[in-house]
Chain A
């Protein structure tokens, strides 16, 4: 199948910095990707309408000042809301990674309980350690989640790197997120059990939550970085895997993006 009709928008600018690898992630599966500075969308040069998938990428928008994602989310919310509402209404896909996840929660695009968008119900707080951390973590996917990005994904090892990644929500919202199976990924131990303790749960997230989706499964936010694991040689274990003749052809992060592109090709074109 030819996927070049699948159009992906990667928004850049203001200290975001994962545009190159996120673009590569979608291009590797044949989609057409445009990297567009947010200002070029705000002033009307480009429009969200042109695209099927929108990626809020990782980085430090506005230096994480005033809380990660806050300033960027405000700019989008006050100056791009209508387009974004249309995009969501059209059932198109949105992924927010790390800073993008923080932005999605600030915008209220996830968890968006009862499909009530643009009200904030969850947040990413400072890590319990009080420190930024770069490491690799295991993730266990919730097989009952409607998330279209994680189809056929069960257990993966991804890099994380953040200072504000502790997933929190107040009791009733947290219960609803769980009840609706909007939890997509939980931090796990190497035996696939849910990770409670640091460093397997790197930030102290409630219920070990690493990623959630909206009720439709079409909007997905996560702290780990699948786009930084496209090559099998990114894995910290690639030498051992090679020796045991089990090095995969691609990195485990690629699947997230292929799922999205395939979903668009099958359902939105």
Chain B
């Protein structure tokens, strides 16, 4: 029987969801309506009686807040908009209702019985026409990629009632395998790749063509010489830019612009891995780098730390909510699938977006408005992170109009891995023996996310496949995670990894490489609905799935434990040592590939890069109104507080936070970095920081990269850390750097990539801050609306470190009037690509650079001061320069500052006032010190030859006064600064 269960808020309580829609209509669309009411509808198709349905409605309804009934209630209004999910789309609420109904009627519903959730919006507004309502539904209420919209006038409802929402997938069949004839012309080879969204180049297609000409043993397993669609898909996934990092692995002929040319055999091997290996010669805390799902470093005798940061750009551009949620829930699975499985400790997030204040007409047709995109991305990561019970440790946003074309959505997760599992097994290790069973656990497979890996390796265009979007389900994943840790501690499996991009084809493909083969029956895979072809099962990126190698003797216990945790597990086959990736569908072989060819058969790309040092017009640093400029910079999008959004993320769950993402007397200023205990009540803590400076790339990516590294490192120092153990993560997001007709400046963009990598090598080796994990996303361009938009070359450099005693950490807020203010480190006239020049509408040329020797000395010396608890507060200025640093310290402490910059340490002879205020020079700190610690601090700084100066005092009067020798001065009240800092994104 089919029932409609309808639950609506009682009229004496606020309908906060409806109120929100009403408010958004007024703010974003300038539409006034009398009222918006909402109600939840659960459509149940199950073998239950009418009486049982009544009981279900009663029990699902909160009797204090809601009215519930079976059927449809009469309601006043003009229009009803029903928003449900399209067939096959994950309906998490529907699934919870499915379980709840089982509890209520005392019988678990079976898989054929369905429950679908939908929301109905009731609009009262006589002025709205059907097309207005359609626009509201499309632009505010639903994402048509995944959701269905049905609109009814009240007259229609009164005559016909509302139809039942039953988005059942009607597909049947499935299990078909097609062959591809590759003995065709080059044009046809390319057509095969394009039509199949395989993203394989002609050269790659030719290598595949050649492989099948020579492949042996196919007839024994019943295959013809031609490849099957399963085989071609597997190769396309395995060889995708997303999985294989072809550009980072390419042979690059690099012309440095000064007549010198060199051939680089993979920037990844030479610079990223190369630098880490060099650092590994002199540090002893690297445990596992580059070859597992996340990097592993040693924390203490009991625990290792695991850290991974990912991007999820393309899916978030299409479906911001689902894409971003998949981003955070997906990266959670990386630590979960590292070594024997790490427990999840802290999440991080950060987004590069177009300004939320972009005028509608500046958004190209086919792209979402950045404000809507931002709202969706935040909501996705908020729901994903909060529901997983993982606090966030860092969150930031960076705005530039070029991110209109492709938003960058970074999500990362820190985990802890026990050093020992049981008596003998080391936590970071993993192994597979031939004969071990291939087991998949977690969600079922559907068409979601098919071609995610190959699609993200392409630019956004009008035919981007809708199936490329997945929706995460943090609750299913939480269950899987809880199960994994239980199974890990009982040593029930030998190997665990996640199913991410490329689905089973990637996870099982990589596992098979370790032991030398696999044989798996795709017909055994649990499906969400019928109708999937074998290749779809293999490459689907349906979420919340982990793959295991389970010794046969443990399989019964493994399955029993999973069942007791409501986790579905399926044995799909076994690992072998045949050298073959052998896929079956029931009794038929559908793929039979040499593992060696899958992983090593891809020809290395050969690319050219040519650097050119461009010169940009200079900007006059002189200001006509310093005070107004200070307030504009402090309130600038890349500096201002994003507290309104950030407070929607849980950062206290687990009870570990010490230096929080927001600090200060009113908890309203973004901290430099965060410190968390590793376990409840522990003395030892983890420090997290990050640096991202996309605009510096406009002048030189080498200095962009060195500045990012320096910023992340000195932020670690700024909260009380030291240089003894800092690990880095590099996440590259680039515009397409391959020279072609659509990318005529590809050689320059590739040279930018080379230079950023050179800086990684130079600075991570000098600082001994090795990269332990990283990722690249290389096609961040959009051609929608007839306009090509490429992102600026962007690297997020994330740093993780240890603090031995959390009580020696500190924040940037000023603590007490009378404390002395010091500037440590030299200020230079480095305003190129600065926030101040951006305000003045120019770029300039003097981008901040990093002096390795003096910076290292400064950081080691400052760390001595904080270890001895001699500093009262510490902050490292970044975007916006010293003046932003003063502003943040004053607002955070709710105290004033009296500053004289005449003695400011500088390298050049003479800096003007504006240069002192706004220069973004690296390597500097603002420190406040209690008077009783003055001489000790000065002794430490002097004896280590660090350049520093006392520049003023913390004062009770809530004013920041800054003056210079030439009589220049600026005075701002703490309130003015706080308003500028906090109002830009308040309620946005």
Q: Does A183 contact B (CB under 8 A)?
A: no
Q: Which partner residue on chain B sits nearest A120 by CB separation?
A: B63
From B100, B475, B667, B680, give the contact of A15 (CB < 8 A): B475
B426 within 8 A of A: no
Closest Cβ of chain A to B214, distance in Å, is 52
Are B667's CB and A136's CB within 8 A?
yes
Residues of A within 8 A of B564 (CB): 37, 39-40, 43
Give the nearest-CB partner of B873 in chain A: A239
B475 with A132: CB separation less than 8 A: no
* B96, CB-defined interface residue at 8 Å: yes
Given contacts A78-B106, A134-B649, contact A12 B677 (CB under 8 A): no
For the complex, give the distance between the alpha carbons of A168 and B60 in Å: 18
Within 8 Å of chain B (Cβ to Cβ): is A161?
yes
Q: Which residue of A lies closest to B389 (CB)?
A: A17
> Does A13 interact with chain B (Cβ within 8 Å)?
yes
CB distance from A175 to the nearest CB of B (A): 15
A170 to B13, CA, bound (A): 10
- CB interface residues, B 378-425, toward A, < 8 Å: 382, 386-390
Are A63 and B62 also in contact (CB < 8 A) when A130-B19, A227-B655 are? no
Residue in A130, A168, A236 whose beta carbon sits within 8 Å of that of B16 in the complex: A130
CB pair B62–A128 under 8 Å, yes or no, is no
* Chain B min CB distance to A130 (Å): 4
Whole-angstrom distance between the Cβ of B784 and the nearest chain A Cβ: 31
Give chain A interface residues in 93-142, CB to chain B under 8 Å: 105-106, 120-123, 125-128, 130-136
Surface stretch bound by A, among B245-253, B550-558, B598-606, B805-813: B805-813
Partner among A24, A39, A243 whose Cβ is within 8 Å of the Cβ of B680: A24
**Using an 8 Å CB-CB cutoff, how does the interface string of B809-845 with A read, 1 for contact, 0 for none?**
0110101100000000000000000000000000000
Beta-carbon contact of B566 and A39 below 8 Å: yes
Q: Is the CB of A21 within 8 A of B65?
A: no
Stretch of B26-34, B657-665, B764-772 lying at the A interface:
B657-665
* Contacts known (A20-B680, A40-B564, A132-B648); A170 close to B64, Cβ less than 8 A: yes
Complex CA distance for A40 and B564, rounded to whole angstroms: 7
| Chain B residues closer than 8 Å to A15, beta-carbon distance | 387, 389, 474-475, 478-479
Other-chain residue from B13, B99, B566, B806 in contact with A233 (beta carbon distance below 8 A):
B806
**Does the CB pair A65–B93 fall under 8 Å?**
yes
User: What is the size, in residues, of chain B's interface with A at 8 Å between Cβ atoms?
Assistant: 65
Q: Quick one: given A78-B104, A233-B658, A233-B806, are A135 and B647 in contact (CB under 8 Å)?
A: yes
Interface centre among A12, A126, A169, A233 (most CB of B within 10 A): A233
Of A68-76, A82-90, A145-153, the one with at least 4 CB within 8 A of chain B: A68-76
Is B20's beta carbon under 8 Å from chain A? yes
Q: Which residues of A contact B106 (CB under 8 A)?
A: 78
Q: B453-487: which have CB < 8 Å to A?
A: 473-475, 478-479, 482
B221 at the interface (CB under 8 A from A): no
Q: Known: A120-B64, A233-B658, A239-B815. Is A74-B648 also a contact (CB below 8 A)?
A: no
Q: Which residues of B contact A59 (CB under 8 A)?
A: 389
Looking at B40, B100, B382, B810, which has the most chain A CB atoms within 10 Å of its CB?
B100
Taken together as a complex, chains A and B put the C-alpha atoms of A209 and B781 apart, in Å, by 51
Residues of B within 8 A of A228 (CB): 652-655
B-chain residues with CB within 8 Å of residue A12 when the two chains form the complex: 482
B175 CB, min distance to chain A CBs, angstroms:
33
Q: Quote the shortest CB–CB distance from A29 to chain B (angstroms).
A: 12
Most buried by B among A13, A21, A63, A71: A63
Q: Does B103 contact A (CB under 8 A)?
A: yes
Given contacts A15-B478, A132-B382, A168-B64, contact A236 B92 (CB under 8 A): no
Contact B96 A63, beta carbon cutoff 8 Å? yes
Establish whether residues B653 and A58, one from each chain, have CB atoms under 8 Å apart when the complex forms.
yes
Given A37-B565, A120-B62, is A65 in contact with B97 using a C-beta cutoff of 8 Å?
A: yes
Q: Output the least CB separation between A71 and chain B (Å).
A: 4
User: Does B938 make an interface contact (CB < 8 A)?
Assistant: no
The interface centre, meaning the residue of B96, B648, B930 with most chain A CB atoms within 10 A of its CB, is B96
A78 CB contacts on chain B under 8 angstroms: 103-104, 106
**Chain B minimum-CB-distance residue to A58:** B653
Chain B 83-125 per-residue mask, 1 if CB under 8 angstroms from chain A, else 0: 0000000001100110110011010000000000100000000
Kindly state the separation between the CA atoms of A28 and B679 in the bound complex, as whole angstroms.
Answer: 13
**Pair A135/B667 contact, Cβ less than 8 Å:** yes
Kindly report which residue of chain A lies nearest to residue B105, judged by CB atoms. A78
A18 within 8 A of B: yes
Nearest chain B CB to A56's CB is how many angstroms away?
15
Considering only CB atoms, which chain B residue lies closest to A233 in the complex? B658
Given A43-B564, A65-B93, A78-B106, A121-B872 contact (CB < 8 Å)? no
Q: Which of B97, B474, B478 contacts A66 (CB 8 A)?
A: B97
With a CB–CB cut-off of 8 A, which chain B residues contact A106? 62
CB distance from A177 to the nearest CB of B (A): 12
**A234 contact set on B, CB distance < 8 A:** 652, 655, 657-658
Give bound CA distance, A64 to B92, whole Å: 10
**Whole-angstrom distance from the CB of A136 to the nearest CB of chain B?**
7
Shortest A43–chain B CB gap in Å is 7
* B59 lies within 8 A of chain A by Cβ: yes
Main secondary structure of the interface of A (DSSP, over half): mixed
In the complex, chain A residues 207-259 whose Cβ is within 8 Å of any chain B Cβ: 225, 227-231, 233-234, 236, 238-240, 242-243, 253
Smallest distance from the beta carbon of A224 to chain B beta carbons, Å? 10
> Do A24 and B648 have beta carbons less than 8 Å apart?
no
- B650 at the A/B interface (Cβ < 8 Å)? yes
Given known A-B contacts A15-B474, A17-B389, A78-B104, A130 and B96 have beta carbons under 8 A apart:
no
Distance in angstroms from A42 CB to nearest chain B CB is 10
Q: Shortest distance in angstroms between B188's beta carbon and chain A's nearest beta carbon?
A: 48
Specify which of A60, A125, A131 is in contact with B475 (CB 8 Å cutoff). A60
Which B residues are CB-close (under 8 A) to A4?
A: none
Contact A133 B647 (CB under 8 A): yes
Q: Residues 1-24 of chain A: 1 if any B CB is under 8 Å from the residue's CB, otherwise 0?
A: 000000000001111111011001
B35-74 vs A: 1/0 string, CB under 8 Å? 0000010000000000000000001101111100000000
Given A63-B96, A168-B64, A230:B103 Cβ within 8 A: no
A15-B478, A24-B681, A239-B815 known; A134+B64 contact, CB < 8 A:
no
Chain B residue numbers with a CB within 8 Å of A63 are: 92-93, 96, 387, 473-475
Q: Write the B897-931 contact mask toward A (1 if CB under 8 angstroms, else 0).
A: 00000000000000000000000000000000010
B651 close to chain A: CB less than 8 A: yes
Interface residues in B161-207 by Cβ distance below 8 A to A read none
Does A165 make an interface contact (CB < 8 A)? no
Whether A17 contacts B653 by the Cβ 8 Å rule is yes
Contact present for B657 and A134 (CB under 8 Å): no
Given contacts A65-B96, A133-B648, A231-B677, contact A128 B14 (CB under 8 A): yes
Contacts of A105 in B (CB 8 A): 64
B400 CB to closest chain A CB (Å) equals 27
Q: Are B13 and A134 in contact (CB under 8 A)?
A: no
Residues of A within 8 A of B660 (CB): 236
Given contacts A74-B104, A228-B654, A236-B667, contact A39 B565 (CB under 8 A): yes
Known: A43-B564, A63-B474, A134-B651. A125 touches B13 (CB 8 A): yes
The smallest beta-carbon distance between B674 and chain A, in angstroms, is 13
Smallest beta-carbon distance A235→chain B, Å: 9
Question: How far is B40's CA from A17's CA once the two chains are assembled, in angstroms?
Answer: 27
Q: Does B788 contact A (CB under 8 A)?
A: no
Shortest beta-carbon distance from B472 to chain A in Å: 11
CB of A60 within 8 A of CB of B386, answer yes
Q: Is A62 an interface residue (CB 8 A)?
A: yes
Q: Is the CB of B680 within 8 A of A21?
A: yes
**Could you list some 7 contacts between A and B, CB below 8 A?**
A24-B655, A60-B386, A66-B96, A132-B649, A134-B649, A168-B13, A236-B667
Contacts A125-B14, A134-B651 known; list 18 others, CB within 8 Å. A17-B389, A37-B565, A39-B565, A39-B566, A75-B99, A75-B100, A79-B103, A105-B64, A106-B62, A123-B62, A123-B64, A130-B17, A132-B649, A135-B667, A225-B653, A227-B655, A230-B655, A231-B680
